[in-house]
């Protein structure tokens, strides 16, 4: 890419090409996980898809973009990340993904997204158009948001400020009582641990009871009502406006979460889901979506099959569980979001169908984020948000050539391409 | 001190201070006169020795000694007659390893916890000049923490009546009070557990030099050397070389009299006895884990030491490695016990390994007994309450009663070298006895009615055994067959699948990783572990009994080689205390039992470079291994691989992200890193000069310095540097510094900004072993780019992608694909990033890394193009042997699941039947404790994350 082309791209990105109609012609369009147009065409106007098919009628004056050798896919959506919240995981000043306190429903993630994070263009360069950004820390850590990976400022980038309330389910396992292991933590007896876990689960219930009580006092305009920010933040959950995203890996956590949600009539999804495959039928029956973060997690025991976690998404999908695939949450994975498609791809080698794999990083996370009407597939009236690739999106050897985000061509340059260009052009140094 | 004097002292020590218990003096007037001390024990069955029993005999005691043992009931006049009918007399029990001192009773527990992962130290250690005046123990001696072989437990020995009372009650009459702190711990006395003054109780002042592989430095804050297992071994080695040096210096001074005094310190003097060829003073080693027992045996051979080994109870994990028929073992009798879980589902989290440990434990003593020179039991690590019960369990599981008895009596007497006084009930030995109600000790109901120490009885009330309930219960237990062990041995299925003499791979797509590129529809013939031929059709060349592997569209590549791994290391990956730890060796701590071997074989990996961590500029010596599942650690080593060493630059070595406590170790800046290298290399060069002079006889003998020796090997081109590095400036400066010492760097590891100075790296000739696409986890990797591999390749560097992660190591083929994505390398070149190129960097490309005739048959079979995301590794071959075949691997995993299910059922049944009641807290905790070999898999290490060391192991 020469400097001039870079400049043009930059301008097009800044100015946008919203005006008018555009037709994109590609070798192949993966419109939905199961629908392929080969060749395919998309007509875009005002950032929306007007028509899509093997061929569309190009209106007079429409700009035609020929991507003869490229394949079009919907933009990829990360179902959970710290993108924009973390820059360098080892450096505290650059980390904003975790807050203190055990119950902080009034913490919102979108507010701390750094639009100029160098990590965002790097994720974008591999086809990620959107990311759910989630707060961490404590039992109720706050509310996640959905951001588009392009925009001038955080408000412009934020698609949804309230995706879900995040609840980190307490562990049900008996931990290992290690006597004097570090000196600072005395081992707890099994009895004590049992009490602890019961108490923690009761505490969750109690917290939501209190939230409900607050809601009742407020709606009934009862006397003595005082506004309390934390309870205010719980209202959308109590009113069923946003779901609860429950972070749970073990079977018992997941089962308890499902039972808890049924009792309260909450809409939930499970994030993590390491052992969810064992409850695949239950999850399918209750239609609880799972965000599976453990494709590359090692099996927890030596005796478990070496490829257990690779195979789990296949088992879940086979049972009919709506499944998204993501990286594990936290500062560490923020820099590696670009590998999202390869987490899904690895599951394909181990039993997940290709279409479910594609769904797990497009339409399923769109549903999780409550934006399936806009994103996740390429259908008429949805956002014109898609990418053009040199081949199968899931193949590592493939590269992403273009990104259109709500009708705008987005710059795929990044810190990485810039540095590559700079040093690729370094003259061979003279011997000293 | 001359050797004769030493021998004399040693001989003196063999003779106890006083053999007669009673003063022969006339009691003073007013003193209550003692009895005549003549006892006759009549009517009991006398178990004279484990295999000799006298039915209804008489045992005469005179002055604390056994005067006579015979059948009958003849009692000479003057003897106090003890009616012992219905009882059995055994020789008094001996505890050969009663740990005494700060860690009293506690066996070594090599944990892998957060504390263990912390790190730092001053500059002070054996090897690098000290900035502290006395880094070891207070006073003269070795300058390393935990190394105090001169310590003598006899000094300050006091009877511990509180504890001894209980031991006597359980039949113990003698104990070796073994020291419980440190690495080279010193000695302890062998004493009678009676009530007397220390002089009277002491049987032997010093039994053995007790060693333990205990990284004691980790207990200090901030930690000091050694805080790793490999560091512990280096410390022991260096201590022995110091002793040898002292000896050589004495000889030299005899020939070349000098006015300089030569005065080896007390630590050296005490170890000189150990290395004495003629009458070596015994050494006992507590290795702390199953694999380390093997290391203890090997270390013994290295220095001509024949140690007694303190077992862990975990020998079932690798009996072939842990046990030796030429060595005596002391074992605790602590068996893991089950706990009642609050919920049924709590069983879900119990692993096969824990269940195996539970089921094997009672069988372990029989296993040791069968496969060793002798077995003795110790009460250390066990509550006495369970000692008898567990002993019976061991007998139930096949330990013959006479062996069990020997393990309590004559065997410990022999290893303590006191068998001339005790251990059996033969005439002339000390009257140390245990009297048991009934005809056997080996019964649940057996009660000890008295314990005799040197002829003095300690009597215990006996409960009435005749009540009916008890009798019924006894009948009930008699009917029940003892529970048999059903758990398998880990090595039953952790092994090679098939070892054909020759194998023909036919019709494959061959990724040769040579100039020939990718060959379609080709055959490859393996004979005797080597690639014998490659060609379009080799059927004619194949021997008759040749195994045939049909392609069916599959691809064949060289086995994957991972140039940067920490996946199979025991104890700790970093000796993180000192800025140079060139003396520690990963080869000492290769974990042949790691599950990562199986998992990585399933990803086509056949060899990896096990590296020390990056906590210091000069790290430890690496080990290049092949993933030969089931073999011994030493057999896994890739013998042809040149020696190497880990170096590191940047944030980790200057402790940039370790927290505020870590600001005083040199270096704290990149300036200091360079300074440090120059310093150590200069020191090593001078060391080389001294060695040369000594060799030519123009200088005094040189103390062998394991740190400088390793660095000198680098200067001489005998040891390869693998240097963890990040920023362009530090890389360039490092290369120049090494060039100034005439050294070529073999590989730059990670080398994330290497792309900025690719030409300089290529010119220097260093390999570049990088990550495919990691970045931004530390400030120094903010400029890391995924194009780096391709860019450096284009500019002439030998480039590889490494894992530095037990996860990534499972899918290195897909990492290679990223070189196609970022930088558009050809697929054939990309695969070389994980095969031939790492082989070149490790200096093993003559043997592995490509498909060429004559090379080792280390191969991976893939379902499709290995760079395709759908590719699955179907087979992995090493040296022509099949180590992974997807189908067989699956079967093995199913069998393990089945075994686990049946053990869970057995455990739950056992709990239900109340068999596990009354077990101690220690035993219950042991169930939850991981062995060192398995714990190391649970705490993955990566140099990427070294930054968080101060805060533990998390990412």
Q: In the predicted model, is pLDDT for residue B793 greater than 50?
A: yes
**Mind telling me how many Å the CA of B596 is from chain A's nearest CA?**
9
pLDDT of residue B346: 84
How close B407 gets to chain A, by Cα (Å)? 29
Report the pLDDT averaged over residues B477-483: 59
Nearest to A30 by CA among A409, A395, A403, A391: A391
Residue B173 lies in a domain: yes
Q: What six digits make up the tokens of B854? A: 């004559």
Looking at B771-872, which runs of residues are DSSP E strands?
799-801, 859-862
Range of the domain at B185: 93-479
pLDDT at B479 over 70: no
Could you give the angle at the alpha carbon of B858 between the alpha carbons of B857 and B861, nearest 5°? 105
| pLDDT exceeds 70 at position B9 | no
The tens digit of pLDDT for each residue in B858-914 reads 999 999 999 999 999 999 999 999 999 999 999 999 999 999 999 999 999 998 887
Instruction: Kindly report, residue by residue over A32-43, the tens digit of the pLDDT.
Output: 999 999 999 999
The overall average pLDDT reported for chain A is: 92
Residue B890, min C-alpha distance to chain A (Å): 7
Q: Which residue of A has its CA nearest to B341?
A: A190
The rounded mean pLDDT for chain B is: 90
For residue B841, the surrounding DSSP H or E stretch is helix B836-841
Query: Which phi and psi angles does A141 have, rounded to 5°?
Result: -90, -15
Task: Verify whether the Cβ–Cβ distance A339 to B774 is below 8 Å.
Answer: no
Residue B449, phi then psi, degrees to nearest 5: -95, -25
Judged by a CB distance cut-off of 8 A, whether residue A390 touches chain B is no
Name the CATH superfamily housing domain A1-75+376-423: Urease, subunit C, domain 1 (2.30.40.10)
pLDDT tens sequence across B103-123: 887 888 765 433 333 222 222
Number of domains in chain B: 1
Burial of B669 (0-12, 13-18, 19+ CB in 10 A): exposed
Asked if A416 and B785 come within 8 Å (Cβ–Cβ), the reply is yes
Query: What pTM was computed for the model?
Result: 0.93
pLDDT of the residue at B476: 46
Residue A10 pLDDT exceeds 60: no
Assess if residue B208 is contained within a domain: yes
Q: What is the pLDDT of residue B943?
A: 63
Percent of chain B whose pLDDT exceeds 90? 77
> How confident is the model over A236-277, as pLDDT tens digits?
999 999 999 999 999 999 999 999 999 999 999 999 999 999
φ/ψ region of B744 (left if φ > 0, alpha if ψ in -120 to 50, else beta) reads beta
Distance between CA B196 and CA B267 in Å, rounded?
31
What whole-number percentage of chain B has pLDDT above 70? 90
Q: What gap in Å lies between CA A164 and CA A146, rounded to an integer? A: 10
| Residue B349 domain flag | yes
CA B803/CA B159 separation, integer angstroms: 56
- From residue B289, how far is each of B81, B212, B294 by CA, in Å? 50, 11, 9
Of B83, B85, B91, nearest in space to B427 by CA? B91
Give the span between the Cα atoms of B101 and B89, in whole angstroms. Answer: 32
* Predicted confidence (pLDDT) at residue A432 exceeds the cutoff of 70: no
Report pLDDT for B115.
32
Q: Do domains A1-75+376-423 and A76-375 have the same CATH topology?
A: no
Residues, chain B, total? 955
Domain assignment present for residue B193? The answer is: yes
Residue B60 belongs to some domain of the structure: no
Q: Residue B119 contacts by C-beta under 8 Å, 6 or more apart in sequence?
A: B222, B223, B227, B574, B576, B577, B615, B658, B949, B950
Q: What is the mean pLDDT of residues B721-744?
A: 98
Kindly give, in sequence order, each residue whose CB lies less than 8 Å from that of residue A312, ignoring residues fewer than 6 positions away: A273, A274, A276, A277, A292, A294, A295, A347
Structure tokens at B632: 């011994």
Check pLDDT > 80 for residue B474.
no
Query: B381: phi > 0 → left, psi -120 to 50 → alpha, else beta; which?
Result: left
Chain B nearest CA to A299, separation (Å): 10
**Residue range B536-562, pLDDT digits in tens:** 999 999 999 999 999 999 999 999 999
Check B791 against A420: CB less than 8 A apart: yes
Which of A:186-205 have CB within 8 Å of B?
187, 190-191, 194
Select from B589, B645, B603 the least CA-distant residue to B843: B645
State mean pLDDT over B623-643.
Answer: 98
- Is A70 in contact with A390 (CB distance < 8 Å)? yes
Cis bond upstream, residue B667 (ω within 30): yes
**What mean pLDDT is predicted for residues B275-290?**
94
Confidence class of residue B470 from pLDDT cuts 50, 70 and 90? very low
Q: Which helix (H) or strand (E) holds B177?
A: strand B172-179
Q: Is residue B132 part of a domain?
A: yes
What is the residue-wise DSSP string for B358-377?
HHHGGGHHHHHHHTSSEEEE
How confident is the model over B498-526, as pLDDT tens digits? 999 999 999 999 999 999 999 999 999 99
> Sheet harboring B560-565: ordered strands across?
B560-565, B605-610, B623-626
Phi-psi region of B186 (alpha: psi -120 to 50; beta: other; left: phi over 0): left
- pLDDT of residue B20 exceeding 80, the answer is no
DSSP string across A334-378: HTTGGGHHHHHHHHHHTT--HHHHHHTTTHHHHHHTT-TTTSSS-
B499 token code pair:
């070892």
Residue B660 has a pLDDT of 84
**Rounded mean pLDDT of B287-313?**
96
Contact flag A174-B349 (C-beta cutoff 8 Å): yes
Give the integer Cα–Cα distance in Å for B271 and B890: 52
What CATH number should be reported for the domain holding residue B210?
3.20.20.140
Q: Which of A198, A302, A342, A400 to mutate to test the interface with B (most CBs of B within 10 A)?
A: A302
- Non-local (6+) Cβ contacts of B361 within 8 A are B313, B316, B334, B335, B336
| CA dihedral over B88, B94, B99, B100, signed as positive or negative | positive
Question: Residues A9-16: what's their mean pLDDT?
Answer: 43
Q: Do B929 and A176 touch (CB under 8 A)?
A: yes
Give the contacts of B770 (CB within 8 A, at least 6 positions apart): B750, B751, B752, B754, B788, B789, B792, B799, B800, B801, B802
For residue B147, give the nearest of B135, B137, B134 by alpha carbon: B137
Region B207-231: what's the mean pLDDT? 92
Quick check: A5 contacting B, CB < 8 Å?
no
Query: What are the tokens at B568?
Result: 């199979």
CB B305 within 8 A of CB B232: no
pLDDT of B744 higher than 90: yes
The arrangement of secondary structure in A76-375, i.e. its CATH architecture, is Alpha-Beta Barrel (3.20)
Chain B residues close to A85, C-beta within 8 Å: none
Note the pLDDT tens digit of each residue in B693-732: 999 988 899 999 999 999 999 999 999 999 999 999 999 9
């Amino acid at each position: 890419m020469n400097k001039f082309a870079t400049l043009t791209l930059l301008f097009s990105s800044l100015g946008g090409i919203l005006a008018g109609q555009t037709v994109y012609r590609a070798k192949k369009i993966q419109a939905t996980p199961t629908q392929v147009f080969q060749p395919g065409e998309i007509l875009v106007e005002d950032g929306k898809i007007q028509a899509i098919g093997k061929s569309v009628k190009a209106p007079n004056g429409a700009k035609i973009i020929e991507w003869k050798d490229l394949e079009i896919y919907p933009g990829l959506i990360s179902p959970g990340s710290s993108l924009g919240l973390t820059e360098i995981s080892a450096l505290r000043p650059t980390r904003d993904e975790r807050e203190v306190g055990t119950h902080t429903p009034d913490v919102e993630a979108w507010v701390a997204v750094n639009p100029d994070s160098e990590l965002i263009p790097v994720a974008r360069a591999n086809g990620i158009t959107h990311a759910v950004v989630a707060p961490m820390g404590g039992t109720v850590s706050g509310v996640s948001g959905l951001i588009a990976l392009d925009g001038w400022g955080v408000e412009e980038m934020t698609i949804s400020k309230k995706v879900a309330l995040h609840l980190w389910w307490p562990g049900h396992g008996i931990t290992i009582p290690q006597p004097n292991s570090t000196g600072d933590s005395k081992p707890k007896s099994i009895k004590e641990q049992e009490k602890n876990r019961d108490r923690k689960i009761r505490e969750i219930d109690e917290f939501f009871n209190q939230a409900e009580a607050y809601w009742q006092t407020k709606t009934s305009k009862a006397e003595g009502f005082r506004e309390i920010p934390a309870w205010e933040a719980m209202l959308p959950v109590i009113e069923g406006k946003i779901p609860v995203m429950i972070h749970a890996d073990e079977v018992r956590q997941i089962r308890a979460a499902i039972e808890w949600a049924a009792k309260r009539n909450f809409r939930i999804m499970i994030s993590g889901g390491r052992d969810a495959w064992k409850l695949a039928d239950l999850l399918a029956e209750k239609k609880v979506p799972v965000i599976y973060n453990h494709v590359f997690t090692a099996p927890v025991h030596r005796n478990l099959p070496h490829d257990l976690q690779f195979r789990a998404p296949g088992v879940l999908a086979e049972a009919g569980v709506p499944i998204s695939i993501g990286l594990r949450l936290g500062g560490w994975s923020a820099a590696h979001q670009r590998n999202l498609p390869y987490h899904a791809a690895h599951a394909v080698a181990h039993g997940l169908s290709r279409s479910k794999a594609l769904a797990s990083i497009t339409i399923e996370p769109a549903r999780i984020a409550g934006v399936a009407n806009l994103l996740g597939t390429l259908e008429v009236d949805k956002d014109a948000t898609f990418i053009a690739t040199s081949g199968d999106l899931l193949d590592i050897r493939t590269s992403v050539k273009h990104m259109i985000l709500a009708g705008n061509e987005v710059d795929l340059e990044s810190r990485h391409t810039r540095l590559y260009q700079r040093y690729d052009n370094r003259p061979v140094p003279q011997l000293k | 001190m001359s050797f004769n004097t030493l021998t004399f002292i040693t001989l003196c020590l063999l003779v106890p201070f006083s053999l007669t218990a009673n003063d022969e003096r006339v009691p003073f007037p007013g003193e209550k006169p003692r009895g005549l001390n003549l006892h006759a024990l009549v009517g009991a069955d006398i178990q004279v020795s484990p295999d000799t029993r006298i039915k209804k005999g008489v045992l005469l005691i005179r002055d604390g000694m056994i005067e006579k043992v015979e059948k009958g009931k003849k009692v000479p006049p003057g003897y106090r007659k003890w009616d012992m009918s219905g009882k059995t007399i055994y020789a008094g029990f001996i505890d050969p390893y009663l740990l005494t001192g700060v860690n009293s009773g506690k066996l070594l527990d090599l944990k892998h916890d957060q504390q263990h992962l912390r790190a730092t130290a001053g500059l002070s250690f054996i090897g690098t000049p000290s900035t502290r005046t006395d880094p070891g123990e207070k006073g003269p001696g070795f300058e390393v923490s935990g190394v105090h072989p001169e310590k003598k437990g006899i000094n300050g020995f006091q009877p511990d009546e509180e504890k001894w009372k209980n031991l006597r009650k359980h039949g113990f009459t003698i104990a070796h009070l073994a020291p419980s702190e440190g690495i080279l711990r010193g000695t302890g006395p062998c004493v009678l557990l009676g009530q007397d003054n220390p002089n009277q109780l002491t049987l032997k002042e010093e039994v053995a030099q007790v060693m333990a592989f205990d990284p004691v430095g980790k207990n200090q804050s901030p930690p000091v050397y050694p805080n790793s297992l490999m560091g512990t071994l280096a410390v022991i080695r260096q201590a022995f070389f110091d002793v040898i040096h002292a000896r050589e210096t004495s000889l030299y001074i005899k020939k070349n009299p000098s006015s300089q005094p030569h005065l080896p310190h007390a630590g050296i003097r005490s170890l000189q006895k150990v290395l004495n060829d003629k009458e070596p003073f015994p050494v006992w080693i507590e290795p702390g884990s199953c694999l380390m027992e093997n290391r203890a045996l090997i270390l013994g051979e290295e220095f001509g030491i024949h140690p007694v080994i303190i077992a862990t109870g975990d020998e079932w994990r690798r009996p072939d490695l842990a046990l030796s028929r030429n060595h005596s073992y002391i074992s605790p009798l602590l068996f893991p016990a089950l706990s009642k879980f609050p919920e049924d589902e709590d069983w879900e989290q119990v692993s096969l390994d824990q269940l195996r440990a539970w089921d094997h434990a009672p069988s372990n003593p029989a296993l040791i007994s069968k496969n060793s020179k002798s077995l003795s039991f110790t009460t250390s690590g066990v509550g006495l309450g369970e000692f008898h019960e567990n002993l019976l369990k061991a007998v139930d599981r096949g330990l013959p009663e006479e062996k069990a008895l020997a393990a309590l009596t004559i065997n410990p007497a022999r290893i303590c070298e006191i068998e001339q006084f005790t251990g059996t009930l033969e005439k002339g030995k000390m009257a140390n006895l245990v009297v048991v109600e009934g005809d056997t000790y080996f019964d649940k109901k057996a009660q000890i009615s008295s314990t005799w120490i040197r002829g003095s009885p300690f009597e215990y009330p006996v409960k009435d055994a005749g009540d009916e309930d008890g009798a019924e219960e006894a009948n009930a237990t008699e009917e029940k067959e003892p529970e048999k062990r059903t758990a398998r041995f880990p090595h039953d299925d952790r092994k090679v699948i098939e070892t054909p003499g020759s194998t023909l791979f036919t019709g494959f797509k061959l990724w040769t990783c040579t100039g020939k590129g990718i060959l379609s529809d080709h055959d490859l013939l393996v004979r005797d572990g080597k690639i014998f031929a490659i060609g379009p059709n080799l059927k004619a060349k194949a021997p008759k009994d040749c195994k045939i592997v049909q392609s069916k569209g599959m691809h064949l590549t060289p086995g994957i080689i991972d140039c940067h791994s920490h996946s199979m290391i025991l104890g700790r990956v970093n000796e993180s205390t000192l800025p140079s730890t060139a003396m520690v060796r990963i080869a000492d701590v290769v974990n042949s039992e790691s599950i990562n071997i199986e998992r990585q074989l399933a990803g086509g990996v056949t060899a990896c470079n096990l590296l020390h961590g990056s906590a210091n500029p000069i790290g430890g010596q690496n080990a290049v291994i092949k993933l030969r599942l089931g073999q011994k650690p030493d057999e896994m080593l890739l013998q042809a691989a040149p020696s190497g060493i880990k170096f590191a630059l940047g944030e980790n070595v200057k402790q940039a992200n370790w927290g505020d406590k870590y600001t005083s170790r040199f270096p704290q800046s990149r300036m200091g890193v360079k300074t440090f290298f120059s310093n150590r290399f200069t020191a090593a060069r001078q060391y080389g000069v001294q060695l040369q002079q000594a060799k030519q006889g123009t200088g005094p003998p040189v103390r062998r310095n394991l740190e400088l020796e390793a660095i000198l090997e680098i200067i001489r081109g005998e040891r390869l540097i693998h240097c963890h590095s990040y920023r362009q400036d530090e890389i360039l400066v490092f290369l120049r510094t090494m060039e100034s010492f005439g050294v070529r760097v073999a590989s730059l590891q990670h080398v994330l900004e290497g792309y900025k100075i690719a030409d300089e790296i290529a010119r220097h000739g260093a390999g570049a072993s990088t990550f495919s696409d990691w970045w931004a986890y530390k400030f120094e990797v903010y400029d890391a780019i995924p194009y780096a591999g391709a860019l450096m390749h284009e500019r002439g560097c030998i480039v590889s992608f490494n894992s530095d992660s037990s996860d990534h190591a499972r899918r290195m083929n897909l990492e290679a694909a990223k070189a196609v994505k970022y930088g558009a390398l050809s697929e054939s070149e990309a695969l070389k990033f994980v095969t031939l190129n790492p082989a070149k960097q490790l200096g093993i490309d003559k043997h592995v890394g490509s498909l060429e005739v004559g090379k080792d048959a280390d191969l991976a079979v893939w379902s499709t193009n290995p760079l395709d995301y759908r590719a699955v590794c179907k087979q992995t071959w090493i040296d022509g042997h099949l180590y992974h075949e997807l189908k067989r691997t699956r079967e093995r995993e199913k069998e393990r699941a089945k075994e686990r299910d049946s053990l869970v059922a057995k455990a739950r049944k056992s709990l239900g039947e109340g068999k596990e009641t009354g077990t101690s807290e220690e035993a219950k905790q042991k169930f939850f404790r991981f062995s060192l070999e398995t714990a190391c898999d649970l705490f993955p290490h990566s140099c990427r994350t070294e930054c968080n060391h101060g805060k533990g192991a998390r990412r």
